[in-house]
């Protein structure tokens, strides 16, 4: 049986445990043996980390020790998949640039806070977004610093209403990439658990986790 690890914590405003509760049952239904932790110390167990198929980090901001970080990164480099969303993966450990290198991006702003915005599917032949149409969100529209090597599956365009100088800027929302031998999936959608009531938002993360898992 494939093993998945979900690690939640950090800033409570992103409802980390509630978001884990959205996706843990899905992973179990897909046949994963799921372990849920709310401590980064699990990353120190090298043998366990290397035995995983999938890591789902849900930890906004916070700090991570060099030993904990290396436990996480070495597992992904060796082939363990990693998949996450919003600040739980894209705004963790802000001083750790190697972590950001692995993720493929870092949150820097969400102009206007909670706003209406459109997510545009830009690679409709990819299995993660296949069959999905563009969809609307009422949530934080993430402005991110992103890696040009990402394979972008969906984007959003900023109106400029809340930051006029970025009017028309097209920003990646969903991407996949590699970090060593590991598959990395990320979606910037998912500020709170209720965001995943939007069927497309939930489906993209579900498919992304399955794609990333080895």
Residue by residue, pLDDT tens for the chain (214 residues) are 999 999 999 999 999 999 999 999 999 999 999 999 999 999 999 999 999 999 999 999 999 999 999 999 999 999 999 999 999 999 999 999 999 999 999 999 999 999 999 999 999 999 999 999 999 999 999 999 999 999 999 999 999 999 999 999 999 999 999 999 999 999 999 999 999 999 999 999 999 999 999 9
Integer Cα distance of 189 and 164 in angstroms = 22
List the CATH code of the domain at 3-212: 3.40.50.880
pTM: 0.98
Burial letters 88-118, b for 16+ CB under 10 A, else e? bbbbbbeebeebbebbbbbbeebbeeebebe
CB 55 within 8 A of CB 7: yes
Query: Which token pair is 167?
Result: 């009017």
């Amino acid at each position: 049986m494939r093993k998945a690890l979900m690690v939640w914590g950090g800033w409570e405003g992103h409802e980390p445990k509630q978001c884990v509760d959205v996706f843990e049952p899905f992973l179990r239904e897909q046949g994963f043996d799921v372990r849920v932790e709310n401590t980064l110390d699990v990353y120190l167990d090298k043998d366990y980390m290397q035995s995983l198929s999938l890591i789902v980090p849900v930890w906004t901001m916070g700090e991570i020790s060099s030993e904990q970080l290396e436990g996480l990164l070495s597992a992904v480099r060796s082939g363990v998949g990693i998949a996450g969303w919003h600040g739980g993966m894209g705004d963790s450990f802000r001083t750790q640039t190697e972590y950001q290198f692995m993720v493929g991006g870092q949150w820097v702003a969400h102009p206007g806070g909670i706003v209406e915005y459109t997510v545009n599917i830009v690679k409709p032949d990819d299995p993660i977004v296949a069959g999905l149409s563009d969809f609307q969100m009422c949530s934080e529209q993430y402005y991110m610093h992103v890696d040009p090597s990402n394979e972008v599956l969906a984007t959003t365009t900023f109106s400029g209403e809340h930051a006029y100088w970025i009017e028309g800027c097209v920003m990646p929302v969903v991407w996949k990439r590699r970090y060593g031998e590991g598959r990395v999936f990320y979606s910037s959608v998912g500020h709170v658990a209720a965001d995943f009531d939007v069927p497309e938002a939930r489906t993209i993360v579900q498919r992304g986790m399955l794609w990333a898992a080895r």
